[in-house]
DNA sequence: AGTAATGTTGACAAATTTAGTCGGGTATTC
DNA sequence: GAATACCCGACTAAATTTGTCAACATTACT
C-alpha cells in the first residue's frame, strides 16, 4: 500500500510553497525543477490543490502560486486528503456515510481498519507544513553556520 | 489510499481460519461463503498466504486449509505484508534497500512518510488474530447468554 | 501596443494494477 | 473409481495511474 505520486508530489510541492511563504508567488516551473516533478503533471495536481483552497494562483508574467494560509495552519492531512482522498485502509472507515458490510452487525476486520485509520490521522493531523520547514532548517543548517553574522 | 481487496479479503479469510484453529481443515468454499469472497479469487489469495507460510493445505476430500501457527502468533502485519507488500506510504520508507531520493542528503517528506509507516506498524504489529477473535466473541456473545449452562 | 511569461483547461493515451474468471490438472478419501 | 478438494497458469475487462500535449487566457514589462 503505497501512496500514489499525486500525494507524494503534492506534498513536496506544498512544502516548497511553504518555504517561500510570504515572498510572493513561485512559478510552477521552479517548483517542478526543485522537487523533480514533471511540470505538466504538476499542473494537474496544483489545480486540485487550488480547488481545495490550499493555494492560489497569480496569472501572467511574474505570476505563480502561493499558499493561502501560513504553513503552521496547513496540515499534511489536508494536503493528502485533497490529492488522495481519505487516508484509510478501507472504504468502510474512510467515509462515515459508507455502507457497512453486511456480514454481521459489526465486522471485526472493520475495527482493525479503524485503528489503522486513527493512527495514521494522529500523525498527519498533527503535522503541519511549518513542522516540515523547521525540520528542514534543522537538518540543512545545523550548528556549522551563523545565521546572521 | 485504500487497501486492495487482496488485503481485505485475505485478513477476513485468515480470521475465519483463526476461528477454526485446532478443529481441522476448512475448505475454501466455506471461507468464501462466510466472508463473501469470490471463491475463485480467494484461491489465488490463499496460495499467496500458503507460500508465505501462514497457512497449510490438506488436499483431497475432507481437505481444506488450516493455520500453521496459533492465532496469537499471527499478526495482522504478517498477513497484510504477504498480500499487499510493505504497508508504507512511500517506497523510500517501505524497503530499507530502496534508493533514497536524490533531492538532498535528507528529504523532509521522507520523514513524514516514515512517521506514518511507524504509526501504522505500531497498530498492525501489535494486533494478532487472537485479538480479533476475542473481540468477535465479546461483540457477538455479550452478557445475555450463559456460555456453559 | 506587443510580447513574453505564466496560469487554465480539456483531451488523449500508454502502462500498470486490480479483480476477478476459467479450464484443466493433481491428490486424497470413501 | 467417484467425489471432494486443492493447484496452477492463462486470460481479460475495467479502473487507475502517470503522465503528455495543444490551445487558450491573463498579466507584467517595455
Which residues of chain B does A115 touch, with a Cβ-Cβ cutoff of 8 Å?
123, 127
Question: Between residues A98 and B90, which one has the greater pLDDT?
Answer: B90
CB-based contacts of A76, cutoff 8 Å, min separation 6: A11, A123, A124, A127, A128, A129, A132, B112
pLDDT computed for residue B140 by the predictor:
75
Q: Choose among A3, A104, A105: nearest Cβ to B90.
A: A3
Q: CB distance B135–A3 less than 8 Å?
A: no
Which residues of chain A does B105 touch, with a Cβ-Cβ cutoff of 8 Å?
139-140
Any atom of strand D under 7 A from CB of A86?
no
| Nearest by Cα to B89 from B45, B121, B49, B128 | B121
pTM of the predicted protein model: 0.92
Residues B81-121 have pLDDT tens digits of 999 999 999 999 998 887 776 655 468 999 999 999 999 99
Banded model confidence at residue B144, pLDDT cuts 50, 70, 90: low
**What count of other Cβ atoms lies within 10 Å of the Cβ of residue B37?**
22
pLDDT at B145 over 60: no
Percent of chain A residues past pLDDT 90, beyond the cut:
81
Q: Which residue is nearest to nucleotide D17 (CA to C1')?
A: A4
Q: Are A91 and B92 in contact (CB under 8 A)?
A: no
Q: Choose among B88, B106, B120: nearest Cβ to A116.
A: B120
Distance A10 CA to C11 C1' (A): 23
At which residue does the C-alpha cell 493455520 appear? Answer: B67
Which residues of chain A does B18 touch, with a Cβ-Cβ cutoff of 8 Å?
none
Instruction: Please name the residue of chain B whose CA is at the shortest distance from the CA of residue A119.
Output: B119
pLDDT computed for residue A149 by the predictor:
45
The residue-averaged pLDDT of B44-68 equals: 97
Residues A11-49 have pLDDT tens digits of 999 999 999 999 999 999 999 999 999 999 999 999 999
CA distance A21 to A66: 7
CA distance A3 to A84: 8
Whole-angstrom distance between the N-terminal and C-terminal Cα of chain B? Answer: 47
Q: CB distance B124–A116 less than 8 Å?
A: yes
Q: Considering chain A, what is the average pLDDT of its residues?
A: 91
Banded model confidence at residue B149, pLDDT cuts 50, 70, 90: very low
Q: Choose among B34, B123, B135: nearest Cβ to A116.
A: B123
Q: CB distance A7–B119 less than 8 Å?
A: no
CA distance A20 to A23: 6
Nucleotide in closest CA–C1' contact with B63? D5
Nucleotides of C under 7 A from a protein CB: 4-11, 17-23, 26-30
Any atom of strand D under 7 A from CB of A4?
yes
pLDDT computed for residue A93 by the predictor:
93
Dihedral class, residue B104 (left if φ above 0, else alpha if ψ from -120 to 50, else beta): beta
Question: Between residues B3 and B104, which one has the greater pLDDT?
Answer: B3
B64 forms bridges with which residues in the sheet?
B58
pLDDT computed for residue B142 by the predictor:
66
Banded model confidence at residue A60, pLDDT cuts 50, 70, 90: very high
Which residues of chain A does B78 touch, with a Cβ-Cβ cutoff of 8 Å?
none
The residue-averaged pLDDT of A124-138 equals: 96
The residue-averaged pLDDT of A70-90 equals: 97
pLDDT at B73 over 80: yes
Amino acid at each position: 500500500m503505497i501512496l500514489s505520486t499525486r500525494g507524494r508530489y503534492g506534498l513536496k510541492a506544498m512544502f516548497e510553497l511553504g518555504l517561500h511563504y510570504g515572498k510572493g508567488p513561485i512559478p510552477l516551473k521552479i517548483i517542478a525543477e526543485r522537487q523533480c516533478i514533471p511540470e505538466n503533471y504538476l499542473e494537474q495536481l496544483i489545480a486540485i490543490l487550488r480547488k481545495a483552497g490550499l493555494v492560489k494562483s497569480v496569472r501572467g508574467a511574474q505570476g505563480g502560486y502561493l499558499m493561502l494560509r501560513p504553513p503552521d495552519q496547513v496540515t499534511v492531512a489536508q494536503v493528502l486528503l485533497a490529492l488522495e482522498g481519505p487516508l484509510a485502509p478501507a472504504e468502510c472507515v474512510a467515509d462515515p456515510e459508507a455502507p457497512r458490510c453486511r456480514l454481521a452487525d459489526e465486522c471485526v476486520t472493520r475495527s482493525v481498519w479503524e485503528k489503522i485509520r486513527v493512527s495514521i490521522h494522529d500523525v498527519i493531523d498533527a503535522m503541519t507544513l511549518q513542522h516540515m520547514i523547521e525540520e528542514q532548517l534543522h537538518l540543512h543548517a545545523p550548528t556549522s553556520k551563523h545565521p546572521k553574522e
